[in-house]
Structure 1
Amino acid sequence: MTKNKTKALSLSMIVSLALTGMANANVTDKDILNDQMTTDDVVSYGLGLKGQRYSPLKKINTETVKEMRPVWAFSLGGEKQRGQESQPMIKDGVMYITGSYSRVYAIDARTGDELWQYDARLPDGIMPCCDVINRGVALYGDLVIFGTLDAKLVALDKNSGNVVWKKTVEDYKAGYSITAAPIVVKGNVITGVAGGEFGVVGKVRAYDAKNGKLVWERPTVEGHMGYIWKDGKKMENGISGGQAGKTWPGDLWKSGGAAPWLGGTYDVDTDLLFFGTGNPAPWNSHLRPGDNLFSSSRLAIDPDTGKIVWHFQTTPHDGWDFDGVNELVSFDYKQNGKTIKAAATADRNGFMYVLNRENGDFIRGFPFVDKISWASGLDKNGRPLYIDSNRPSNPADSKDGKKGSSVVATPAFLGAKNWMPVAYSKDTELFYVPSNEWSMDIWNEPTAYKKGSAYLGAGFTIKAINEDYIGVLRAMDPKTGKEVWRFKNYSPLWAGVLATAGNLVFTGNPEGYLLGLNAKTGDVEYKFNTGSGIVGSPITWEMDGEQYISVLSGWGGAVPLWGGDVAKRVKHLNQGGSVWTFKLPK
């Protein structure tokens, strides 16, 4: 059992907070909507609800970055290390981060001093799929809101760290958890859930950010009813886009997975939320013939009601655990004199997709890794052209009925790109995509659903394709599908990406380096070793007229847990838990 902890403030901290006005400044809907344009704060996951992770700051640029140096480092403390995948938030000189095991910290952004810490009281029976990570908080009003590994939403007072409200989103004993940073749209805090490997039913939910009251619920498996709440009364909001069992056999839709575990983005132009959904359950695709909606898909959701406006399925009848959760990033581009309202996503299956974000129509798709074995390409509607021989076989056809024949599938189930977010630069009009080149041996096995138990029906092991690298940071042109440059990394890449107007792209690697690359050429302009692997998402902001860069360091996540042969490549890397903050010297 862990304890809530609020540390006493020193006199210097009190003076600092008085100077920043921390006790008075609240985060508004306008602050969140304008986040990408403002430079003195970071109040949304993705540095803007579109998720572009682009900053107009340019004091740190290709000419000056070599002089950048750390100004403070903050330790998350204790023995709770593991993967630190958080993106920091900044408001009025205070940084808010999450740590492994559902912890939250408020830090003085000038000095690195801890202001308060909150530790969730986690039960013994939590069932996180892929490490005990947390990717960050949402800020709204005077609240700091985050999800926990036992599937709760918790709102803390930003000044003290005390609990203001707490809501149980789902039953952790059934395999549910929350690891993603929630987002706030129109005063509602919106979250997905994790747990697809346990046969949960994926859901997106909206809560009133001020008091935690449930506003609407949208299941993401076809056949489950959605609801809205008005005046405290629960009202049906229609079946989620189809009839029960239409694209699922029998009753398998009742434990269909499709968990929206990565969280969402929002586009104010179309007034739509974009959430991706995970794998259908179980992994053994022969048990569930059909497209298995709305698994492995991108969903456009009405933020006021939870209604699914359109959907695009990247891997129908997913048999490789490719999921479809990866972020859908809104952007505009010119074509034949017209502005195209587009959105792009780099899928775990190895293809990058450009969609019309108004209606979900497929514009183009293209590989962003060197090898794809399960499909030969995409048809005119973006549907994959399957290579049937590369689907793991039906164990029922084997001699003993216990194990199907193994296939070598590329990419591996951890994906051509996993959770780690891309960045899009308005200056270069390129997407910067952290990717991995690996394959897997995968085979199917019999399985049956049991509440709270793993529901896979598959076995696997991951292997590197190349001896000298696995990770590749790529600059991709969404208008042509061409790779502009690449940066190779020996270990898998598992960190988010940041682009700036200083012609720089920042990311981190498991070897521990914060890397600054030239956005146009991919040349490494800066590197600094933080002492543990970086699997978090870097941010930048301006304070007292100076530009800062911050990133969490702390090796972990899914790779050392699920990586098979690849895990041997990184087994020597040290765990950690710290925040590093950098700037130029005065």
Structure 2
Amino acid sequence: MRSNRIGKQFAASALALAVSFGAQAVTDQDILNDQDTADDVVSYGMGLQGQRYSPIDTLNTSNVKSLQPAWAFSFGSEKMRGQESQPMIKDGVMYVSASYSRVYAIDAMTGEEIWQYDARLPDGIMPCCDVVNRGVALYDDLVVFGTLDAKLVALNKDTGKVVWIKKVADYQAGYAITAAPIVVKGKIITGVSGGEFGIVGKVEAYDAKTGDLVWTRPTVEGHMGYVYKDGKAVENGISGGKAGLTWPGDMWKNGGAATWLGGTYDADTDSLFFGTGNPAPWNSHLRPGDNLFSSSRLAIDPDDGSIKWHFQTTPHDGWDYDGVNELISFDYKENGKTVKAAATADRNGFFYVLDRTSGKFIRGFPFVDKITWATGLDKNGRPVYNTKDGRPGDPSKAEGDKGESVVAQPAFLGGKNWQPMAYSQDTGLFYVPSNEWSMDIWNEPVSYKKGAAFLGAGFTIKPTNDKFIGVLRAMDPKTGKEVWRYNNPAPLWGGVMTTAGNLVFTGTPEGYLKAFDARTGEELYKFNTGSGVVGTPVTWTMNGEQYVSVASGWGGAVPLWGGEVAKVVKNFNQGGMVWTFKLPKDRVVSR
């Protein structure tokens, strides 16, 4: 099931390198402490809470202009597009995934390849939104990642050899895995992609050592979850809901709600936080009701997969406003008390702050310039729909096969899509990579067929401004105020990182890695990587120097689904590289 370009001599050198770096197994405690450590990155999100905040301040606003390229590594072959991954670093070795379900181990000092693994993908894979992979998980002596044919693969971190492979779902029904798994209590936790094919979303836990399935939690109401004991499935229907309760007829059987972005974890409440995608099909007139648990955030018990609470951002979603965007845990003070909160910037254009212990709505506000489908949020955070011309029309009540078209903003690609935001513990601000665009959208008749697109809608995306589409925003979660913004000509499609050095890093489709002052938004640094940056940057220290790494390689959903927006980016070069930068020791400035 694989192609691995490593011979015996290279395996030996890889093991020798690992020994020379003092390589250690990655433990649960390493992962839980990731946000506090400087010399490694062992979790997706630079900490399980997903804040993407580094406590390192060696690189700061005074010296970031001296950041220099250290090395660049090519992913090679003709598979040069859609590099959305976040690198991991442990004991001087970088582990990074690439498009078409590939994984690399790289010497983090020199940029030399240690090993490469290529998944042998079948011809019939059906990724809706490009051939991306967003990262790996590290645990013990394993590197674990998901594939475009919906498998989990565990590799030995020193040799790249397969330890186990498990089928998570049927790729011929439209399932895939594009997100990085996370590791909690020795379990590999993964979601699935495929909402445009009428699949049923789910979150599953696998034993990291053996690959055995521990529990499964479907995310469409009516489908029961199970815990697996002694090889037998024991029903766990806690908060599973009854079939058809918020779905008409049998629509729940192919209800979508894909968990395609993966999740975060909060140790304070012992909760996994997963977002769920759009209900299927897009034509909402076929499925009246709230359609739980689609377009929602779920708090899931990591021990058995039961749902603790849910919060639905777009009930009866008719615009493909997936609720998958990351839910980030953070604390803040209010009236002298600590509030255990969590925040998410939804594709629907609203920013939500929730009580992470209960899922209770605290506050919400727009983070984009214009929202047309709703006029606001009520006291419980439920949208107040624009009932006049907000929802695309019912094709069954129109002449011909096309319902009445509406102009909706944001477009279905969202006020913010998959690209993760970051939270600074110093400024108390969230840094949100967002986009300003609208769409013409209409509904069409559709019926389910295994492996076929299950949309029932047509659309055209348009820019809403002449000079910019992307906006990097600094948002205050306590007030809803936009503190500063940076407008970018092309859509922003890469993740964000912030640091104790008062810096915010992100990339642009024009190819730049950029750094901004976290308090003012002043642009302080840029470097062109040669292709669009749609990956997520990380930082760490090695031998007393601070490093920054980011994947570069234009692709993802925008050039595939972007309509008129795609014209803006049609001349951007594809690519496949990971760039690593460092601040030389002689440029360190005390703050």
Q: Which residue of 1 aligns with 2:147?
A: 148
Q: Give the 4+ runs in structure 1 shifted more than 6 A.
A: 10-14
Q: Which moved more, 1:118-127 or 1:227-236?
A: 227-236
1:316-335 alignment to 2 at 5 Å?
Answer: 316-335=315-334
Deviations 1:396-422 (CA, angstroms, capped at 9, x unpaired): 11112x001111100000000000000
Whole-Å separation in 2 of the counterparts to 1:509 and 1:579: 15
Q: Which residue of 2 aligns with 1:398?
A: 398
Q: Which residue of 2 aligns with 1:5?
A: 5
Whole-Å separation in 2 of the counterparts to 1:456 and 1:398: 18
Whole-Å separation in 2 of the counterparts to 1:104 and 1:453: 29
- CA shift, 1:28, in A, is 0.1
Whole-Å separation in 2 of the counterparts to 1:11 and 1:317: 56
- CA shift, 1:290, in A, is 0.2
1:453-464 alignment to 2 at 5 Å?
Answer: 453-464=452-463
1:282-293 alignment to 2 at 5 Å?
Answer: 282-293=281-292
Structure 1 residues 210 and 14 mapped into 2: Cα distance closer, same or farther (>3 Å)? closer
Whole-Å separation in 1 of the counterparts to 2:19 and 2:319: 54
Whole-Å separation in 2 of the counterparts to 1:253 and 1:365: 29
Structure 1 residues 46 and 286 mapped into 2: Cα distance closer, same or farther (>3 Å)? same
Q: Which residue of 2 aligns with 1:17?
A: 18
SS of the residue corresponding to residue 34 of structure 2 reads coil
Structure 1 residues 10 and 182 mapped into 2: Cα distance closer, same or farther (>3 Å)? closer
1:254-403 alignment to 2 at 5 Å?
Answer: 254-388=253-387, 389-400=389-400, 402-403=401-402
What amino acid is the match of 2:583?
A: L
Q: Which residue of 2 aligns with 1:159?
A: 158
Q: Is 1:13–1:108's contact at 8 Å kept on the other side of the alignment? A: no
Q: Is 1:497–1:507's contact at 8 Å kept on the other side of the alignment? A: yes
Q: Which residue of 2 aligns with 1:70?
A: 69
Whole-Å separation in 2 of the counterparts to 1:570 and 1:57: 35
- CA shift, 1:2, in A, is 6.8
Whole-Å separation in 2 of the counterparts to 1:247 and 1:178: 27
Whole-Å separation in 1 of the counterparts to 2:210 and 2:16: 31
Whole-Å separation in 1 of the counterparts to 2:10 and 2:215: 39
SS of the residue corresponding to residue 531 of structure 1 reads coil
Q: Is 1:222–1:239's contact at 8 Å kept on the other side of the alignment? A: no
1:41-52 alignment to 2 at 5 Å?
Answer: 41-52=40-51
Q: Which residue of 1 aligns with 2:210?
A: 211
Q: Is 1:45–1:183's contact at 8 Å kept on the other side of the alignment? A: yes
SS of the residue corresponding to residue 567 of structure 2 reads helix
Q: Is 1:224–1:240's contact at 8 Å kept on the other side of the alignment? A: no
Whole-Å separation in 2 of the counterparts to 1:398 and 1:147: 43
What amino acid is the match of 1:17?
A: A
Q: Is 1:196–1:280's contact at 8 Å kept on the other side of the alignment? A: yes
Q: Which residue of 1 aligns with 2:588?
A: none
Q: Is 2:15–2:159's contact at 8 Å kept on the other side of the alignment? A: no
Deviations 1:489-510 (CA, angstroms, capped at 9, x unpaired): 0000000000000000000000
Q: Is 1:220–1:240's contact at 8 Å kept on the other side of the alignment? A: no
Whole-Å separation in 2 of the counterparts to 1:148 and 1:10: 24
Whole-Å separation in 1 of the counterparts to 2:279 and 2:59: 44
Q: Is 1:327–1:421's contact at 8 Å kept on the other side of the alignment? A: yes
1:516-527 alignment to 2 at 5 Å?
Answer: 516-527=515-526
- CA shift, 1:341, in A, is 0.2
What amino acid is the match of 1:77?
A: G
Q: Which runs of 5+ in 2 are unaligned?
A: 586-591
Q: Which residue of 1 aligns with 2:589?
A: none
- CA shift, 1:242, in A, is 1.2
Q: Which residue of 1 aligns with 2:251?
A: 252
- CA shift, 1:19, in A, is 2.2
- CA shift, 1:231, in A, is 1.8
Q: Which residue of 2 aligns with 1:507?
A: 506
Q: Is 1:494–1:510's contact at 8 Å kept on the other side of the alignment? A: yes
Alignment partner of 1:86 is 2:91? no
Whole-Å separation in 1 of the counterparts to 2:566 and 2:546: 36
Whole-Å separation in 1 of the counterparts to 2:127 and 2:54: 33
Whole-Å separation in 2 of the counterparts to 1:542 and 1:567: 38
What amino acid is the match of 2:170?
A: D
Whole-Å separation in 1 of the counterparts to 2:55 and 2:533: 24
SS of the residue corresponding to residue 568 of structure 1 reads helix
What amino acid is the match of 2:312?
A: Q
Deviations 1:76-106 (CA, angstroms, capped at 9, x unpaired): 0000011000000000000000000000000
Whole-Å separation in 2 of the counterparts to 1:143 and 1:15: 17
- CA shift, 1:238, in A, is 1.2
- CA shift, 1:9, in A, is 2.8
SS of the residue corresponding to residue 36 of structure 1 reads helix
What amino acid is the match of 1:398?
A: A
Q: Is 1:226–1:240's contact at 8 Å kept on the other side of the alignment? A: no
Structure 1 residues 31 and 336 mapped into 2: Cα distance closer, same or farther (>3 Å)? same
Whole-Å separation in 2 of the counterparts to 1:547 and 1:202: 40
Deviations 1:319-362 (CA, angstroms, capped at 9, x unpaired): 00001000000000000000000000000000000000000000
What amino acid is the match of 2:489?
A: Y
Whole-Å separation in 2 of the counterparts to 1:221 and 1:281: 10
- CA shift, 1:17, in A, is 3.3
Alignment partner of 1:441 is 2:437? no
Whole-Å separation in 1 of the counterparts to 2:395 and 2:232: 47
Report the number of matched residues: 583
Q: Is 2:14–2:159's contact at 8 Å kept on the other side of the alignment? A: no
Alignment partner of 1:557 is 2:556? yes
- CA shift, 1:4, in A, is 3.0
Whole-Å separation in 2 of the counterparts to 1:184 and 1:68: 32
SS of the residue corresponding to residue 441 of structure 2 reads strand
Q: Is 1:280–1:292's contact at 8 Å kept on the other side of the alignment? A: yes
Q: Which residue of 2 aligns with 1:126?
A: 125
Whole-Å separation in 1 of the counterparts to 2:10 and 2:19: 12
For the aligned residues, what is the CA RMSD? 1.1
- CA shift, 1:541, in A, is 0.3
- CA shift, 1:584, in A, is 1.4
SS of the residue corresponding to residue 3 of structure 2 reads coil
**TM-score scaled by length of structure 1:** 0.98
1:525-540 alignment to 2 at 5 Å?
Answer: 525-540=524-539
